Amino acid sequence: MSSIKTYFTRQILQWHSEHFRPMPWKGEKDPYKIWLSEIMLQQTRVAQGMPYYQKFLKRFPDVYVLANASMDEVMKQWEGLGYYSRARHLHASAKLIVKHFDGHLPASYKELIRLPGIGPYTASAIASFAYGIPSAVVDGNVHRILSRYFAINKLIDNSKNKQLFTALANQLIDRQQAAAYNQAIMDFGADVCLAKNPNCKSCILEKHCQAYRSNTVNHLPPPRKRIKKRNRFFHYLIIINEGKTFIRKRTEQDIWKNLWEFPMIETTELKSFKSILAHKLINECLPVQQFELIKQSRIYKQQLTHQNINAVFYMIKSNNQIARAWQPVDSKSILNFAFPGIIHSFLSEKTLHLLN
DNA sequence: AAAACGGGGAG
DNA sequence: CTCCCAGTTTT
């Protein structure tokens, strides 16, 4: 193992020295910034997270500013990035770091992983990048590279396999250059050992890659299990009363928790406005016969990992205030709230003249 | 152990 | 259209 290890590790580091990809958080010393970048990049492509990282840092330059901000402000900065529990956990961790660690991120894997939103990957990433601790990251890139190089035909879908890849990665890491090694292997996965159409021709590991030698590169790692999608139909009520409309925060265990929305009626298929009038939410939001349907939108669609969302927006003129549970907003203040992508795209097309 | 959780880009 | 991305939490 040790000669294989030195070869693999040396090649990866050698490659990295010649193919450095500059990114704002590379070589970063501030653990706060490293932490933020790692949370933002969970299941998120670098190019997608980049603008959010810059914007977020401008608004919350250090852990104290973040800890003192409101949840809604944090969500607003996260709006559109997805996996919103990351923002909630980031905020919660900021408060814990201020309260228990004097505003400094803890400098050990063991303490890091206890913070909300920090799992095995992120704890290793912060430990190595911020503190030089030799803890190997195992992300999608590392899993794929090791699966191919050692021809390990296993997914990381249970703790045993997870442990297998983690142990292997920790044998391969260069303990004197932990940060560089972790950076290098992930960059290598992003640039050369791609999930689809890997660039084996220019690969410096080709000679000893078990998958390449057995012509199984395209079968490793094995395909994941299919996920079944369900279709959901959201009927949003844009109730307009004296230049204001009404929203609330989603708090139930469902998608988009802590984002805001209009009064909404969900059905198992697309319904007409007339048929949703029977729903009990109507009684809460609209006075009997004291409203008028101005118009309805086209069908907005959004694909999520486990769901297909279909939404219709009904613009309704009403003569009465609605229940206090709903927050009135005008066309200006509505921009301060964080909405799901499907509502945001509706608003970006309609909002400005909607309420006047 | 399995399912849930967003959104976007590449092929 | 499918797959997957610097994964974690909840069930």
Chain B nucleotides with an atom closer than 7 Å to a protein C-beta: 1-9, 11
- Confidence category of residue A249, pLDDT binned at 50, 70, 90: very high
Judged by C1' against the alpha carbon of A158, the nearest nucleotide is B1
Entry pTM = 0.95
Q: Are A33 and A25 contacting, i.e. CB atoms less than 8 angstroms apart?
A: yes
Give me the active site residues of A, please: 38
Q: Round to a whole number and report the distance in Å from the CA of A42 to the C1' of B7.
A: 12
d(CA A33, CA A183): 16
Query: Chain-wide mean pLDDT for chain A?
Result: 93
Distance from CA(A111) to C1'(C4), angstroms, rounded: 30
Q: Answer yes or no: is A22 CB < 7 A from strand C.
A: no
A25: nt with nearest C1' to CA: C6
CA gap A218, A349 in Å, rounded: 43
Mean pLDDT along residues A239-268: 94
A307 touches strand C (CB under 7 A): no
Output the CA–CA distances (angstroms, integers) from residue A100 to A33, A93, A94, A267, in the order listed: 19, 10, 10, 46
- Cα A278 to the center of its chain, rounded Å: 37
Q: What is the pLDDT of residues A91-116, one digit of tens each?
A: 999 999 999 999 999 999 999 999 99
What's the confidence (pLDDT) of residue A236?
96
Nucleotide at minimal C1' distance from the A48 CA: B8
For residue A134, say whether its CB is under 7 Å from any atom of strand B.
no
Q: Above 90 in pLDDT, residue A289?
A: no
Averaged pLDDT, A137-165: 96
Lowest mean pLDDT among A124-128, A210-214, A329-333: A329-333
Which residue has the least CA–C1' distance to nucleotide C7? A42
CA of A161 to C1' of B8 (A): 29
Q: How confident is the model at residue A349 (pLDDT cuts 50, 70, 90)?
A: confident
Contacts of A292 (CB under 8 A, 6+ apart): A316, A317, A318
pLDDT in the model for residue A25: 86
The residue count of chain A comes to: 356
Round and report the angstrom distance from CA (A26) to C1' (B5): 28
Question: b/e string for A234-272 if b means 16 or more Cβ within 10 A?
Answer: bbbbbbbbeebbbbebbeeeebbebbbbbbebeeeeebe
What are the φ/ψ torsions at residue A246 (nearest 5 degrees)?
Answer: -130, 135
Mean pLDDT of A330-356: 85
Where helices occur in A41-84 by DSSP H, the ranges are 46-59, 63-68, 71-78
User: Would you state the pLDDT for residue A218?
Assistant: 95
Query: Quick one: DSSP state of residue A225?
Result: P
What is the pLDDT at residue A356?
Answer: 64
Q: What six digits make up the tokens of A140?
A: 């999608």
Q: DSSP strand E in chain A: where? A: 230-240, 245-249, 260-261, 264-267, 291-296, 300-303, 307-318, 327-329
Residue nearest to nucleotide C11 (CA to C1'): A253
Q: Are the beta carbons of A82 and A76 closer than 8 angstroms? A: no
Query: Over 80: is that where the pLDDT of A263 sits?
Result: yes
Whether residue A354 has pLDDT greater than 70 = no
